[in-house]
Amino acid sequence: MRKDFLAITDLTAAEAYEIFELSRNLKSRQKYGEVHQPLKGKTMAMIFQKPSARTRISFETGMYQLGGHALYLGPKDVQIGKREGVSDIARVMSRYNDVIMARLFGHEDILELAEYASIPVINGLTDLIHPCQVMADVFTILEHKGKIENLTIAFIGDGNNVCNSWLNLASIIPINLNLGIPEGYDPDKETLSRAKRAGISKIQICRNPKMAANNAQVIYTDVWASMGQEKEAEQRKLDFRLFQIDDSLLSHAEEGCIVMHCLPAHRGDEITDSVMDGPGSVVFDQAENRLHVQKAILVKLMT
């Protein structure tokens, strides 16, 4: 692996599968109460410009389980790029810590952080991509479907950072990716173009969500208005009203289709209670698997 994990495209397919196999191993060890501390004595600095329940809990818990210590640094603790330059923060933390995880707004900041840090940097989320989330999602699909290659995955909703990370995944592992997205909310143009140029996966944008869901083995959604888009929420509700994951939409998918959501969910907007709590939902498996996959990423980068 490279020094840092900033995007799924930092990995080869073989490296991604190595992480999934290690995730399986670490999850099993944890389930059976086996103490496994390969990162004993190591410290992780966690920089949060954006708050998050799952990202903080999973990384902090994971580092503890691996024998290390995680230090939470909120928006007022490290005003990255404001009170102090990104490159200087990177150099200072490299003197104190063994790894940095950062959850930031601007993608250029995570790139600069990694450039100047002499220790590994993990992208916990930027406005462009959310690689740890989609790695955990793929691991969850492997658990439930036994494979990921050539499955039809319908991502229905906003072409946001999670959607962009699915496109990055499609650049290294062959899948059929149907993007059910309303006009004006498409994913990042360069990310989409790069995924198509890779020629590995079948990728299509569908303006009709039922067409995107047709015969899908996996249906995925996310909030219609992400953090920082609160002022657009009412307009987005209008624009996305036909893109709700409900029982009617689910009926177009393949029998046994699993439903995914990266959380937090706005029940009644992008997903209904009946689907979220239904037999096909693996939403909380996804949330748990953030822990195991991120532990695997930490171990791979640090040992």
First to last CA, the chain: 11
Task: Give just the sign of the alpha carbon dihedral 108, 113, 119, 121.
Answer: negative
The 10s digit of each residue's pLDDT in 154-188 is 999 999 999 999 999 999 999 999 999 999 999 99
Tell whether the model's pLDDT for residue 139 goes beyond 80. Answer: yes
Written as six digits, the tokens of 18 are 């190595």
Whole-prediction pTM: 0.97
- Residue 277: closest CA among 248, 246, 256: 246
Percent of the chain with pLDDT over 70: 100
Question: Which residues share a beta bridge with 80?
Answer: 84
CATH fold, domain 131-286, is Rossmann fold (3.40.50)
Residue 87: HSE in the Cβ half-sphere, 13 Å Cα cutoff: 2
The CATH number of 8-130+290-302 is which of 3.90.1150.10, 3.40.50.880, 3.20.20.70, 3.40.50.1370?
3.40.50.1370
Q: Give the 3-state secondary structure of residue 220.
A: strand
Average pLDDT, the chain: 96
| pLDDT confidence band for 84 (50 / 70 / 90) | confident
- More reliable by pLDDT, 172 or 231: 172
HSE-up (13 A, CA, CB side) for residue 267 = 8
- Catalytic positions are 262
Question: Which pLDDT value is given to residue 271?
Answer: 98
* pLDDT for 256: 97
Q: What are the distances in angstroms from CA 20 to CA 8, 25, 236, 239, 285? A: 13, 9, 35, 36, 15
How does DSSP classify residue 216? -
Angle between helix axes 161-170 and 131-145 (nearest 10 degrees) is 60
Residues of the chain with CATH 3.40.50.1370: 8-130+290-302, 131-286
- Would you say residue 83 has pLDDT above 80? no
